[in-house]
Structure 1
Amino acid sequence: MSFSGKSLLRIQDLDIDKVMLLFDKARALKAEFKRSKTFGRKLHLSLESQQKLLAMVFLEPSTRTRMSFQAAAARLGFRVVSFDCSSASSMEKGENEIDTLKNVSALLPDLMVVRYGESKQVGDLLPKLNCPVINAGSGMDEHPSQALLDAFTMLEAKGSLVGQRLLMVGDIRHSRVAHSNLRLLGPLGVQLGICGPSELLPPLEGEWKNVERFEDLQSGISWCQILMGLRIQKERHLAAGSGRDLVSYQGQFRIEPSHLSKWTQNGIILHPGPVIRGVEFAEEILHDPRSLVIEQVTNGLFVRAALYSLILGLEV
């Protein structure tokens, strides 16, 4: 059941025992922060923590995920070096992603956090690097730490995940968050449903074959206890040469206060961010007392700090 020295590249790298161990650690860190406005203080002050080097390599743009991983590392007292595609002179000069990763790995970090696109070459390289790697998002396929913080938020709010019904609304087909949540939440006992334009939904086959599919948004919301909005992945559509008219999407699938007027008061509303106000959610939805969108961001800090400590075998 040990995490120590292991990469987290996909949800399948975890079993249920590891997930629960991670949640226990995240819960303890959160409780410590509530008591003392800090966490991992013992580790932060130790020589062991100060000697740990974390390398962050973001080959696709990121704000929230990158800052969350950075904040978790800072709270634990790690040293951080980072590579960001938006300001990388080496890539402007023509260096490819594989060479970039090999060069960062040659700096001998204790742990790497990597975000990348659809490159199979990068995916094949990561398990061969000389340190553990956390996947911070890979194309349309996986975003393991986001799914973990989503599940942790659900568990905190609901007390148990078994038998809960989650409806994901939006661009499911192109969403790495949707794929990772499917792979994590099913084994944890959550029933999944999807709703959105047909061209943005995956076919109900393979790993999606047992998922409920709703063409009508109100019917889907009435079915679920947990509601998750997902943004329209315009950058993926452009790459694929396709697109979706946002006006028609908003008219049919934007979540409005009227959809929630008779919804369970014990329901929770989630979104992995960034929320495009007026597209996935009407403005008022983010102010609904059932919205835990900001709590997800906070929980991401504790879940990612827990990942660091378990992978590096550190007591915090």
Structure 2
Amino acid sequence: MPEKQKQRLLLSVEDLSASQAKQLIQVAQKLKRGEIGASEKKSEKNPAKIVILAFFEPSTRTALSFEIAALRLGLKPVNFAAAGSTSLAKGESLHETLVTLISMKPDLLVVRHSGDAKIEEQLAISEVPVINAGSGTKEHPTQALLDAMTVFERRDKIEGERILYVGDIEHSRVARSGNKLFSRLGAAVAVCAPKELMPSTSDWAQATRFEKLSDALKWSTVCIGLRLQKERHSKKPYAFNIEEYRLDKKNLSSLATDAVVMHPGPFIAELDVSEEILDDPRCAIHDQVTNGVYMRMAVIGEMLGLSYS
């Protein structure tokens, strides 16, 4: 993000250069350590900036961390409830709802949606700054940033690390954004999944592919598990045993003792992750949740040009 200039849109990891991503990680770490904090004074002439949080898909970690981030920065988050209490229940389209929110002229709009093409077109031309909080199977840039922050904290570097994604990679916006960002930051990326869940798009052309989880774990320094996204699958029965790719004590015995285990959440207990690994010293799943707040503070601050003290 250019210095002294607000970033207008963060819709994709591709909106960031490597240096911009590194700068955001540094700011998020300083916020986490309490070395800096929001410094803008509010008054009638300088009221708190308004952030609309519009989530058209379910969320716990992302939605709440954005709200907490806004509050800690002294902003006013406004939650748009996409359930039955809005005009969506009367038949209004998602696209028109989004245009309505933009027309209210908030200072920042944070949006999660299912990847609707009309919504993406509108966001790309929005005069209001926009952060993508997850778009279908396509992108989740702030998750990639907080994951990179977590890797840096645990491994003291990102360049040269070997990042492994395990599970439902084909339908994962987390993995797609993470692949782009980690590659840009100098890490190697690999995938391990049943053939039905292997990525099929060209953006994965450079990723190493493993069939056996034990081989993949021996290669990796960071293992990131992914949820089986049943809501994005056809209803035909699976032809694979997902337990072969589950992150549990038995499978993780192939992973180095100084490696890192991550998962963006939510995880389905005993399906993609066994709860027994939450006590494993290599596990950083809850660190990711904590870092989500500070990374989103850093991103919001950059988008709005906030100053720190």
Q: Give the structure-1-normalised TM-score.
A: 0.92
Distance 1:122 1:83 in 2: 16
Could you list the runs of 5+ residues in structure 1 that have no partner in the other structure?
none
Name 1:78's counterpart in structure 2: 75
Aligned residues of 1:49 and 1:76 also touching (Cα < 8 A): no
Match of 2:139 in 1: 142
What's the CA shift for 1:262? 5.0
Residue in 2 aligned with 1:110? 107
Distance 1:69-1:245 versus aligned 2 partners, 3 A rule: farther
Residues 1:218 and 2:218 are matched in the alignment: no
User: Are the equivalent residues in 2 in contact too, given 1:5–1:131 (CA < 8 A)?
Assistant: no
CA-to-aligned-CA distance 1:184-210 (integer Å, 9 cap, x gap)? 11011111111111000113x622112
Residue 21 (structure 2) aligns with = 19
Q: Cα distance 1:50–1:266, how it changes in 2: closer, same or farther (>3 A)?
A: farther
- Partner of 1:207 in structure 2? 203
Q: Deviations over 1:200-250 (max 9, x none)?
A: 0113x6221121111111111111010110000000004xx555368x211
Unaligned runs of 5+ in 2: none
| CA distance 1:262–1:128, shift in 2 (3 Å) | closer
Query: Is 2:122 aligned against 1:125?
Result: yes
Residue in structure 1 matched with residue 178 of structure 2 by the alignment: 181
Equivalent-residue separation in structure 2 for 1:164 and 1:184 (angstroms): 13
Aligned residues of 1:162 and 1:188 also touching (Cα < 8 A)? yes
Counterpart check, 1:170 vs 2:167: yes
Match of 2:265 among 273, 297, 310: 273
| Pair 1:314 & 2:306 matched | yes
Q: Pick which of 190-199 and 262-271 moved more.
A: 262-271
- 1:244 partnered with 2:238: yes
CA distance in 1, matches of 2:123, 2:229: 25
Residues 95 and 284 (structure 1), Cα distance of their counterparts in 2 relative to 1, 3 Å cut: same
Query: 1: CA distance between counterparts of 2:170 and 2:122?
Result: 25
Superposition CA RMSD, Å: 1.8
Structure-1 separation of matches of 2:264 and 2:7: 28
Q: 1:154, 1:27 → 2: CA distance?
A: 12
Query: Does the 8 Å CA contact 1:49/1:78 hold for their aligned counterparts?
Result: no
The answer to whether the 8 A contact 1:98-1:121 is kept is yes
Give the letter aligned to residue 99 of structure 1. E
Q: 1:49 to 1:195 in 2, by over 3 A?
A: farther
Q: Contact 1:226/1:268 (CA < 8 Å) preserved in 2? A: yes
Correspondence 1:93 to 2:93: no
Q: 1:262 to 1:141 in 2, by over 3 A?
A: closer
Residue correspondences, number: 305
Q: Calculate the TM-score normalised by the size of structure 2.
A: 0.94
The 3 A distance-change label for structure 1 pair 209 and 262 is closer
Residue 301 (structure 1) aligns with: 293
Q: Which structure 1 residue ranges, 4+ long, deviate > 3 Å from structure 2?
A: 45-50
- How far is the alpha carbon of 1:40 from its aligned partner? 2.4
SS for the counterpart of 2:14 is: helix
Contact 1:72 1:304 in 2 (8 A): yes
Q: Output the CA distance in 2 between the equivalents of 1:242 and 1:118.
A: 23
Sort the Cα spacing of 1:262 and 1:154 in 2 relative to 1 into closer, same or farther, 3 A. Answer: same
Following the alignment from structure 2 to structure 1, what is the Cα–Cα distance between the partners of residues 237 and 10? Answer: 32
SS in 1 for 2:206: coil
More helix by share: 1
Inter-partner Cα distance in structure 1 for 2:143 and 2:119: 20
CA shift digits 1:170-193 (9 cap, x unpaired): 000000001000111101111111
CA distance in 1, matches of 2:128, 2:237: 39
Task: Show CA shifts across 1:267-298 (max 9, x none).
Answer: 01000000111011222111111100000000
Q: In 2, distance between residues paired with 1:202 and 1:242? A: 19
Q: Check whether the contact 2:149–2:291 (CA below 8 A) recurs between aligned residues.
A: yes
How many Å separate the matches in 2 of 1:245 and 1:52?
51
Q: Report if aligned partners of 1:60, 1:116 keep a CA contact under 8 Å in 2.
A: yes
Assess, with a 3 A threshold, how the Cα gap between structure 1 residues 242 and 11 changes in structure 2: closer, same or farther.
farther
Q: CA deviation at 1:41?
A: 4.9
Once the two structures are TM-superposed, the CA of residue 169 in structure 1 deviates from its matched residue by 0.6
Q: Do the aligned partners of residues 5 and 226 (structure 1) sit closer, same or farther apart at CA in structure 2, a change above 3 Å counting?
A: closer
Confirm or deny: 8 A CA contact 2:83 2:89 kept in the other structure.
no
Amino acid at match of 1:181: G
